[in-house]
Amino acid sequence: MKAPIGILGGSGLYRMAGLALERTELVQTPFGDPSGPVHLGTLDGAPVAFLARHGEGHRFTPTEVPYRANLWALKFLGVERLVSVSAVGSLQARHRPGDLRLARQFVDRTKLRQDSFFGGGLVAHVGFAEPTCPHLSEALMAAGRRLGLPLEDGATYVCMEGPAFSTRAESRLHQSWGADLIGMTQVTEAKLAREAELCYACIALVTDYDAWREGEEAVDAASVLEVMQANVDKAQALLRATVPDLVGAPRPCACGEALKAALFTAPEHVSIDARRRLDLLVSKYGYGKR
């Protein structure tokens, strides 16, 4: 069974409600083990692959999450469209705890991530000016409108390294840049999704006001937890309302050919090792195992 729709669950989203489970699969990848077994089944009739980013019981910090293995495993299982769910802090008063936002732009403030499948003998530079899929994002927006959820499009997400939250000075700096949200995971997934030629969208669940508000307690893990469950319920409802619309729908975007103009290494210089490691991504461009 191929699962063209993938869901990456973040903080608080470790199981997908309503998923009629058919099997679980622990995929071995050239980039190590994923965070855990991928759950494959149907969600209201739509074939879906679900993976909890931080692992069962939330065991991986944002730095430790095996992002490359996770994205590889989902691609290997046939995922073409990926919806990532992420808990975020708000950097602007209009985004309130309990709100849902679609992140559409990112500012990368990570320092310790392996955020490319390439290197080791095969170089690629994908375009990342528009990091999210407009078509997939619009499908989520349409479902959100039908459900009357507090969902808005167009947020800019600052992705920090973590795991500590921001200082007040950092929080105010990020706010002064005009960014909307802060989290610790999404820019890495977005970059890898682009390299894997997946349509990618990010449902951001606002849990707190980070640390910029004068005279207010700054975010801590307990305040995130307080809001998280209600947010996760909304995200699951949104996902369930969206995925049936995606089954068999064409992909009228450029996500599926992101590598077409990105591969830089002359084919005759690509080692057999690199070809073997990256076969899943590049065989269609004539860089196969030979």
Ligand X SMILES: Nc1ncnc2[nH]cnc12
Residue 229 touching ligand LNRAV4D5 (CB under 6 A): no
CA distance 68 to 198: 13
- Give the residue with the Cβ less far from ligand X, 55 or 244: 55
User: Known catalytic residue: 220?
Assistant: no
Q: Which of 33, 210, 233, 245 is the catalytic position?
A: 210
Residue 207 touching ligand X (CB under 6 A): yes
Residue 86 touching ligand LNRAV4D5 (CB under 6 A): yes
Q: According to CB under 6 A, which one of 3, 190, 224, 278 is a site residue for ligand LNRAV4D5?
A: 224
Q: Which two tokens stand for residue 126?
A: 């994908």
Residue pair 242/135 in contact by the 8 Å Cβ criterion: no
Burial class (CB in 10 A: 0-12, 13-18, 19+), 289: exposed
CA distance 289 to 181: 42
151 CB contacts (<8 Å, ≥6 apart)?
99, 100, 101, 102, 140, 141, 144, 145, 238
CA distance 277 to 284: 14
Find which of ligand LNRAV4D5, ligand X, none residue 70 binds, CB within 5 to 8 Å per kind.
none
3-state helix, strand, coil in the chain (%, to 5): 30, 25, 45
Q: Which x/- pattern over 254-273 shows residues binding ligand LNRAV4D5 (rule: CB under 6 A)?
A: --------------------
User: Known catalytic residue: 44?
Assistant: no
Q: Which x/- pattern over 168-207 shows residues binding ligand LNRAV4D5 (rule: CB under 6 A)?
A: ---------------xxx----------------------
Catalytic residues: 208, 210
In the complex, which residues of this chain contact ligand LNRAV4D5 (CB under 6 A)?
10-11, 53-54, 62, 86-87, 162, 183-185, 221, 224
In the complex, which residues of this chain contact ligand X (CB under 6 A)?
87-89, 165, 182-184, 207-208, 210, 219, 224
